[in-house]
């Protein structure tokens, strides 16, 4: 398996992160250390464990003050209702989960459907490390160094037919291994979906690792989706099926509360959740809230996908 940390991209050069923001791991550490030194007096505003961060990879569209969230937070503050509804449940209750062997079906409106062992699915692609902002619909956020492949790669290999318009993803359904599925909190199995052009976008990843290691169970092992300009719940975890369809797939949270969670669920500071504002977010480890960016800061790369659409209606 080829792993490289700066991968190929279809982004136009003007949209690529300026070199000044393109820090190596050592520079990250130095920057974090300097920040620690500079604001040690106002410790309350500091990201914790800043110096302990070991992220490497390409900081796609990251801003100077986006620092990778410590491993401990990334792996203990999780929404993964298949393992319980409290943030610390998934880390606790997924301990015995065995993410291998694992197979993923790629099917539906494709010329080459298949049922792949996870490693065979990943093998033909370039595995990349990319640091993305992660914005939860609950108005908290992280910066996460993911490791994964472009979803577009997998889809292209399956050769979608001209009728394919959407991609549907399904999580494993096995209440004996995922104890949260014993309770009807959501409709199981969890399902998510993207429009085909969203799925083919170079920012959209099938993720198999974080911080350079295999994905921990609580983060969606062994394979999850990451769509950095959408709210975190679109990033379906422990995927067993990828199906191309001609109709918009039903998605778990939309089924659960259609007035609160739409199919698109693009990060949008101007469209509030009915119960709270989305204008600001609390970055894990920080006390003061920061403004939420349109499309989570990836507007340059993705806003053309939604040209002419009413994003208030298509929330």
Partner 1 sequence: MGGGVWWTAPAAVRAIGRPRWWPWAVWAAVLVPGLGVAAGVLSDFLMGTRWLGSNPVKEGELILGQLTIKYLVAALAVTPARRLLGWNWLQKDRRTFGVTAFCYGLAHFLWYALIDIQLDGGELAKDLTKRTYIIVGFAALLVMLPLALTSTRASIARLKRRWVTLHRLAYVVPVLGIIHWWMSVKADIGEPILYSAVFALLLGWRWWHARRETSAHATATISGRSA
Residues 114 and 227: their CA atoms lie apart, in Å, by 23
* Secondary structure element (H or E) that encloses residue 134, with its range: strand 127-135
User: Which span sits near partner 1 by CB under 8 A: 19-27, 82-90, 168-176, 199-207?
Assistant: 82-90
> With respect to partner 1, which residue has the nearer C-beta, 64 or 257?
257
Nearest 5°: phi and psi at 160?
Answer: -60, 140
What radius of gyration do the chain's Cα atoms show? 19
Cβ count within 10 A of residue 31:
15
Site string for partner 1, 91-130 (x = CB under 8 A): ----------------------------------------
Structure tokens at 26: 């050592």
Residue 282 contacts partner 1 per CB under 8 A: yes
Q: Specify the 3-state DSSP secondary structure of 240.
A: strand
Which 10-49 residues touch partner 1, going by CB under 8 A?
43-44, 46, 48-49
The site that binds partner 1 (CB under 8 A) totals a number of residues, namely 33
Structure tokens at 62: 């990251």
> With respect to partner 1, which residue has the nearer C-beta, 33 or 43?
43
Residue 166 CB, nearest approach to partner 1 (Å): 24
For residues 157 and 255, the answer to whether their CB atoms sit within 8 Å is no
Residue 174 contacts partner 1 per CB under 8 A: no
Residue 73 contacts partner 1 per CB under 8 A: yes
Among 93, 284, 293, 302, binds partner 1 (CB under 8 A): 284
Residues 218 and 82: their CA atoms lie apart, in Å, by 9
Residue 59 CB, nearest approach to partner 1 (Å): 22
Q: Which residues are CB-contacts of 263 (< 8 A; sequence separation ≥ 6)?
A: 193, 248, 251, 254, 314
For residues 17 and 132, the answer to whether their CB atoms sit within 8 Å is no
Closest Cα to residue 242, out of 102, 106, 108, 115?
106
Residue 308 CB, nearest approach to partner 1 (Å): 29
For residues 28 and 55, the answer to whether their CB atoms sit within 8 Å is yes
Residue 3 CB, nearest approach to partner 1 (Å): 28
For residues 206 and 151, the answer to whether their CB atoms sit within 8 Å is yes
User: Which span sits near partner 1 by CB under 8 A: 112-120, 150-158, 194-202, 274-282?
Assistant: 274-282
> With respect to partner 1, which residue has the nearer C-beta, 180 or 297?
180
Among 107, 138, 174, 197, binds partner 1 (CB under 8 A): 138
Among 9, 77, 195, 314, binds partner 1 (CB under 8 A): 77
Where do contacts with partner 1 occur on this chain (CB under 8 A)? Answer: 43-44, 46, 48-49, 72-73, 76-77, 81, 85, 87-88, 138, 140, 183, 185-186, 256-257, 272, 274-277, 279-280, 282, 284-285, 287-289
């Amino acid at each position: 398996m080829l792993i490289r940390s700066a991968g190929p991209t279809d982004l136009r050069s003007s949209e690529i992160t300026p070199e000044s923001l393109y820090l190596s791991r050592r520079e990250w550490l130095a920057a974090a250390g300097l920040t620690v030194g500079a604001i040690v007096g106002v410790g309350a505003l500091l990201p914790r464990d800043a110096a302990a961060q070991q992220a490497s990879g390409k900081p796609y569209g990251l801003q100077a003050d986006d620092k990778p969230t410590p491993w401990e937070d990334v792996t203990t503050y999780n929404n993964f209702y298949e393992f319980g509804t409290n943030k610390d449940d998934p880390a606790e209750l997924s301990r015995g989960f065995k993410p291998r062997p694992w197979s993923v079906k790629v099917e539906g409106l494709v010329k080459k459907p298949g049922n792949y062992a996870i490693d065979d699915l990943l093998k033909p692609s370039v595995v990349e490390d990319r640091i993305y902002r992660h914005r939860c619909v609950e108005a908290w956020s992280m910066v996460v160094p993911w490791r994964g492949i472009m979803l577009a790669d997998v889809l292209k290999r399956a050769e979608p037919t001209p009728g394919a318009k959407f991609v549907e993803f399904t999580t494993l359904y096995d209440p004996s291994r995922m104890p949260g599925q014993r309770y009807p909190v959501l409709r199981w199995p969890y399902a998510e979906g993207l429009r085909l052009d969203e799925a083919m976008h170079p920012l959209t990843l099938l993720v198999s690792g974080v911080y350079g290691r295999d994905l921990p169970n609580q983060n969606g092992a062994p394979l999850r989706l990451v769509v950095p300009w959408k709210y975190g719940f679109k990033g379906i975890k422990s995927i067993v099926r990828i199906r191309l369809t001609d109709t918009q797939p039903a998605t778990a949270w939309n089924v659960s509360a259609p007035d609160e969670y739409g199919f698109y669920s693009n990060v949008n500071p101007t469209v509030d959740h009915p119960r709270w504002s989305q204008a600001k977010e609390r970055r894990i480890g920080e006390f003061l809230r920061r403004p939420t960016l349109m499309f989570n800061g990836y507007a340059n790369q993705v806003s053309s996908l939604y040209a002419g659409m009413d994003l208030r209606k298509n929330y």
